[in-house]
Amino acid sequence: MGCCESSFIRGRDSHHKTNHNHHRNSNSNSNNNDDNRLTQTNNGPPQPSNGTNSLAGGAGGVPGFSEFSLAELKVATNNFSSDFIVSESGEKAPNVVYKGRLQNDNNRRWIAIKKFTKLAWPDPKQFADEAWGVGKLRHNTLANLIGYCCDGDERLLVAEYMPNDTLAKHLFHWENQTIEWAMRLRVALYIAEALDYCSNEGHPLYHDLNAYRVLFDENGDPRLSCFGLIKNSRDGKSYSTNLAYTPPEYLRNGRVTPESVIFSFGTVLLDLLSGKHIPPSRALDMIRGKNILLLMDSHLEGNFSTEEATVVFDLASRCLQNEPMERPNTKDLMTTLAPLQNKPDVPSYVMLGIPKHEEGPPTPQHPLSPMGDACSRMDLTAIHQILVMTHYKDDEGTNELSFQEWTQQMRDMLEARKRGDVAFRDKDFKTAIECYSQFIDVGTMVSPTVYARRSLCHLLCDQPDAALRDAMQAQCVYPDWSTAFYMQAVALAKLDMHKDAADMLNEAAALEEKRQRGGKGS
């Protein structure tokens, strides 16, 4: 646990100087950061990067595919409470989708759970085989399938949870801002790339592709739901939308083909262009009549390239051909859409108008105290409340002063600390930093609590480097103080050093557990 000199500080500059832009160039070999969604090719604009294909996990820290118990999923969803339903049609949906949170000691990730209707898949082996087939897929443009459950008549799929709604919500039911043009082009490219990956991996059929199947992850990047790779039932329909949006060949023979998927992709392109769900036949009539500008979403207020829109309209028209063999394939979609990407360096969350996601340290292996829980969630407000309530009880024994040391300088120093405490309590964090610095600079007394408080002030003032230094100094003064480790964990997470943050969080929790068994710590 080294106190005053840490490998975290020695290695911090190299970590922090790593380019965390949304796109990396082709010289980067890292596929582990969610920000590395696109890679630069030599032929032009960024392309979505390839994921991995492994049951042991893969893209962006996705867990391996596994079987879940019904009990686990009931706990995750509060017994499938209606409060956890995220299906667009709520409880009226034929197969309801819930969000849930796993409660395992080592895994508290959010998940999406699709609960099939009773007897949708009467043969559990057939359902399991379907799930395992899709569970092999791992890609950064998919909301990946991470598990399934067969228990009695219950059939459930478990996938990564995407917290930022669907394309339909952002296109048709937006509140603050519509999706800008460059983001619409990115959505089209990502979904084309997802379909191409699935096709190359032996899963060319996607059932009922529409704007509700396109989701946005914590970084605002678009993902294609893996649920569409499995039918709603063994013998069920592949399309549940209005017949006006259904491929004509499906109406004739009831079969989904790879060409049917391309037709549905064309309807999503129309959604992106118009901001409305327009029947393909009507849209094609307007395209043939050269009324393209009338089709464009008026909420874009003209902020789009007519040349780019014409290319996308042409591609949509080709996708919507009545004759399946006249439609483009997934490679054609990629080739057409890739050159249109015009904001490769702008993160998706910026274009989508959502806050930047800040990843907290993973849940440690040991039980967490309120302080540990607040730090694992990076809840700075809760940390502040705890430090105010704890006051200076953890400083006991760190200073023993003789009568002769109670000088005027000492009284001034304690007065500076008192002013810092008042400012800290009142959330005047800049003043608190100044006052606590006066106390620390005198050097007659050392207080781990003052270092911890100043560390939090630095975090709240967006100074994670200084916060990390103070947390480490608190550890120097009090080597077994869990709060010092917790504050280091938060600072490391703010510096995007998440593995180191997780290690620190685990050390802090272990110290707390030791204290509960009779050792010193807090």
Backbone angles phi, psi at 52, to 5 degrees: -110, 170
- Straight-line distance from the first to the last Cα atom of the chain, in angstroms, rounded to the nearest whole number: 16
Contacting residues for 129 by C-beta, under 8 A, at least 6 apart: none
DSSP calls for 245-279: GS-HHHHHH----HHHHHHHHHHHHHHHHHSS---
Q: Give the full edge-to-edge strand order of the sheet including 47-48.
A: 23-24, 38-39, 47-48
Long-range contacts of 91-100 (CB under 8 A, 24+ apart): 94/232, 94/240, 95/120, 95/232, 97/227, 99/161, 100/73, 100/76, 100/161
Nearby residues of 495 by Cβ (< 8 Å), 6 or more positions away: 12, 15, 16, 464, 465, 468
Q: Which amino acid is at 214?
A: V
Spatial separation of the C-alpha atoms in residues 40 and 375, rounded to whole Å: 36
What's the CA gap between 210 and 169, in Å, rounded?
A: 12
Can you say how many angstroms the Cα of residue 2 is from the centroid of all Cα atoms in its chain?
33
Task: Locate 310 and state its tokens.
Answer: 């014409």
Place of tokens 């395209």: 287
Beta bridge partners of 112: 99, 159
Residues taking part in catalysis: 208
Closest of 469, 442, 446 to residue 457, by C-alpha: 469
Going 162 to 167 to 168 to 172, the CA torsion angle's sign is: positive
Q: Specify the residue for token string 């197969």.
A: 95
Looking up tokens 């329909």 gives: 237
